[in-house]
Chains A and B, each alone.
Chain A
Amino acid sequence: MQSSKLIWVIILLCGCLSSCFKEEPLNAECDIESVWVHTDNPDDFFFNRTDTIINVPYSKSEITFYVKRNSDITHMAPMFKITEGATIEPANGSLQDFSRGPVTYKVTSQDKQWNRVYNVAFQERSRTVTDTLKFDFDNYELDKEYGKFYVWYDKNEDGKTTYLWATGNPGFRYAYSTMKDPDRYPTTPIAEGIDGASVKLETRSTGAFGVINNKRIAAGNLFYGFFDTKYVLTETMKSTNFGHPFDKTPIKFEGYYRYKSGDKYQDKNGNEIPGKKDQGSIYSVMYRNHDNAGNEVMLHGDDVLTNPHIVAVARMVDVTGTEDWTKFELDFKYFDNIDETLLNNYGYNLAIVFSSSYEGDHFEGAVGSTLLIDKVRLICKKTE
C-alpha cells in the first residue's frame, strides 16, 4: 500500500515537472540582423568593401549605405538576414530604386504577432568642405522613441540632419526607469553657455540596479560615435562605439569647458577613496578604420586611446576644477602619416570624447562631478 502511494506521488510530481513542456513557440522577434548588397564592381559604388554589408544594431530602424558620388542606385537588390522564420516585404533580394529616397521594408515575426518597419537608404557620402568643423551643441531634442532623454544633432552643410553625437543616456534609462526628468540624466543641455546652449555632463548614481550589477555610477559622456544598448549589462566597454568616417586631417582640437569634481570619489565597489579628486576627459582620436586584412576597426571603451590603428591623438592631460569657462587648445600628435588616398576614401575615423569622470568607463568616479562643454572646434589642414 505504502509503496504504491509513494509511486503515485512520484508520478504526479514528475508529471508536473517534466512531461508538461509544450512544443516550442514560434519566434516573436522580427529584426533585420544584417543587410548586404552584391554588385559586380563594388569599388565603383563603395569606398570600402566592408561598406557593402551593414550589421544592424537592434535599436536601429534606419539603415544607410554610404556610396560614392554619382553611383547608380536605381537598381539595387539588398539581401537581408532576418530573425529565423520571419518574413520581409518587399521580398528579400528584390530590385529596388533607391534614387527616389529610402525604401521601407516591413519584417513580420514567425508567429505573425509582431512587426518592425525599417527604412533602407543609399546615400552619397558628402565631402567635408569647411576646414574648421564647429560644434556648438545648440541643436538638441528628446529622443524620438522614449521621449525620456536628450539627443544632439547637427545640420550638415547640405542642410541634412545628422545624429553623429552619442551619449550613455540610453544606458542610464535602463538603470533608472523611474527617472521622469530628462534634465536629471547624465548628459543634458543647459541654457547658459559661451554662446547659446552648452552640454552638461554630470556623473550620476545608477541606483539599486547599479549596486546589484556593480555599475554604481554613470559618468556623463558625449562622444562622436554610436552607443549600442545591447552591451550595457555585459560587455559594457563595447557599448561605446567611438568614431565616424572623416576625410580631413585634423590639426587642432579646441573648445571651452568648466569642471567641478564631485565630493566623494568612489571605487567600483562603492567604497570612498579619501583624498582622490575626480577629473574629466577631453580628447580626440584619428584612426584607420580598417586593419591590413580589410576588417573594420572600431574603437571602444577599452582601447580608444591604445588601439594600434590610432594615427593621431589630441588629449587634455588634466581636466580639473575651473570656476569659469576656460578655453582648451590641443594639438593633434601624429604617430603616423596620413595617407591622402586613404583619407579621401574615408579610410579614417574621427572620435571626439568628453566625460565627466575620467575613470567612469570602469564605473569609478565621484557622483556630482560636472563637465560643461561648448563651442568645440576641429581645425583641419587646408585643402585647396
Chain B
Amino acid sequence: MKKLSMICVLLIIATITANAEKLTDNLNYNVRLGYNLGGTAPIGIPSSIRGMDSYDPGWNLSYGFDVQKDIRGPWGVMTGIHLENKGMEVDARVKNYHMEMVQGGQRLEGYFTGNNVVNVEEWLLTVPIMATYHVGGNVKLKLGPYISYAMSHKFYGHAYNGYLREGTPTGDRINLGNTEEQRGSYDFSDDMRRLQFGIDVGADWYFSKRWGAYADLSWGLTGIHKSDFKTIEQTLYPIFGTVGLTYKLK
C-alpha cells in the first residue's frame, strides 16, 4: 500500500509541475456541490449475507474545487480538492456470518444468524487526478485515480433478532433481541484506514455558459479497514456515485 501512495504522490507532483509550465494558459476553474450515494460493500457478496432489509444512503455531500486544463485537441487534465462525506446505514439479513461484538476491550466472537445493522460515516478530503475528454461542445468525460484522506471515520453497528453461536457453529448459543438491552453491539471505528485510493469515472455537462451538472462514480480500491483487521472476513470497499451541480468560475 505504501508503494501505491508513493506513486500517487509522484503523480500529483508530476501533474502540478506539468501544469506549472503554462500555469495561466487555458485554465478552467469550477466549484461543485454533489450528493454521494453508495455504500461500503464486499466485492462479490458472500453467501452468508442473505439480503438487505433496509438501506439508508444518508446525507452525503461533496463540495469540490477543480482546475481543468486543455492540453491537446479534446484531451485535458483535471485535478482539485473535494471535501466529501461517504456514509450509509444498511440492515442486512445474515446466516452464519462470522462477527465479533466488541465493547471496551471485551469481545464475543462467533457465527451470527439474524439481522445486522452497519453504520458507516466518513469525512474525506479527496484529490482526484483525471484525464478529461471533450466529446461535444458541452460534455466532458473524466477518468483517473483519486486519493482520499479520512479526517473522521466511524464504523459501528449491532446484531439483533437472531442468535450467536460462540466461536464455532457448534458453540454455545446466545439469543439476541431487538432492544438496546438485548442486542450485540460493536464499534470498529478505530480499525479504519485513513488513506484511501480508488478510480473515479464521470462526466460534466454544461447546460449553460457557467452552470453544469455532473455525475461521477468513485470505486474504492482500498478497503475501509486497515489490512490487519480480520474480524470482518470480507474487505469492504467504498463504492459511491455522485450527482450534482458545477459552476464555472473561469
Contact = CB atoms under 8 A, between A and B. Distances in A.
Given A10-B241, A17-B41, A30 B181 contact: no
A1 interface: yes
Given A2-B205, A29-B169, A13 B174 contact: no
Residue of A5, A10, A25, A232 contacting most chain B CB atoms (<10 Å): A5
A182 to B, nearest CB: 17
Interface in B61-103: 95-96, 101, 103
A158 B235 CA distance: 58
Contact of B44 (A20, A29, A212, A215): A20
A209 interface: yes
B124 interface: no
Interface in A97-117: 109, 113-116
Given A21-B51, A25-B96, A9 B108 contact: no
B241 A1 contact: no
B181 A1 contact: no
A209 B106 contact: yes
B157 interface: no
Interface residues of B, number: 55
Contact of B243 (A6, A170, A233): A6
Nearest to A23: B47
Interface in B7-54: 37-39, 41, 43-52
B108 A209 contact: yes
Nearest to B51: A21
Interface string B161-177: 00101101110111111
Contacts of A213: 180-183, 185
Contact of B217 (A9, A29, A30, A115): A9
B95 A114 contact: no
Nearest to B242: A9
B118 to A, nearest CB: 13
23 contacts: A2-B213, A12-B241, A13-B37, A13-B38, A18-B52, A22-B46, A22-B47, A24-B47, A25-B47, A25-B48, A25-B96, A30-B169, A31-B170, A109-B169, A177-B107, A177-B108, A208-B106, A209-B104, A212-B103, A213-B183, A215-B181, A231-B175, A233-B176
B52 A59 contact: no
Q: Is the interface of B mostly helix, strand, loop or mixed?
A: strand
A301 to B, nearest CB: 15
Contacts of A12: 217, 239, 241
Given A22-B47, A25-B96, A232 B217 contact: no
A16 B239 contact: yes
A299 interface: no
Contacts of A9: 215, 217, 241, 243
A29 B107 CA distance: 22
A114 B177 contact: no
A338 interface: no
Interface of B: 37-39, 41, 43-52, 55, 95-96, 101, 103-108, 111, 135-136, 139, 163, 165-166, 168-170, 172-177, 180-185, 202-203, 205, 213, 215, 217, 239, 241, 243
Contact of B95 (A16, A24, A177): A24
A232 B202 contact: no
A207 interface: yes
A230 interface: yes
A328 interface: no
Contacts of B43: 16
Interface in A316-341: none
A22 B97 CA distance: 14
Interface of A: 1-2, 5-6, 8-10, 12-13, 16-18, 20-25, 27-31, 58-59, 109, 113-116, 170, 174-178, 207-209, 211-215, 229-235
A176 B50 CA distance: 31
B215 A6 contact: yes
A65 to B, nearest CB: 23
Contacts of A229: 172-174
B140 to A, nearest CB: 10
Contacts of B95: 24-25
Contacts of B37: 13
Contact of B136 (A1, A109, A209, A215): A1
Nearest to B181: A214
A207 B48 contact: no
Given A22-B46, A214-B181, A229-B173, 17 more contacts: A5-B215, A13-B37, A17-B41, A24-B95, A25-B48, A29-B96, A109-B169, A114-B170, A175-B106, A207-B105, A209-B106, A214-B180, A229-B172, A230-B174, A234-B175, A234-B176, A235-B175
B174 A5 contact: no
B55 A17 contact: yes
Given A9-B217, A229-B172, A28 B96 contact: yes
A28 B111 contact: yes
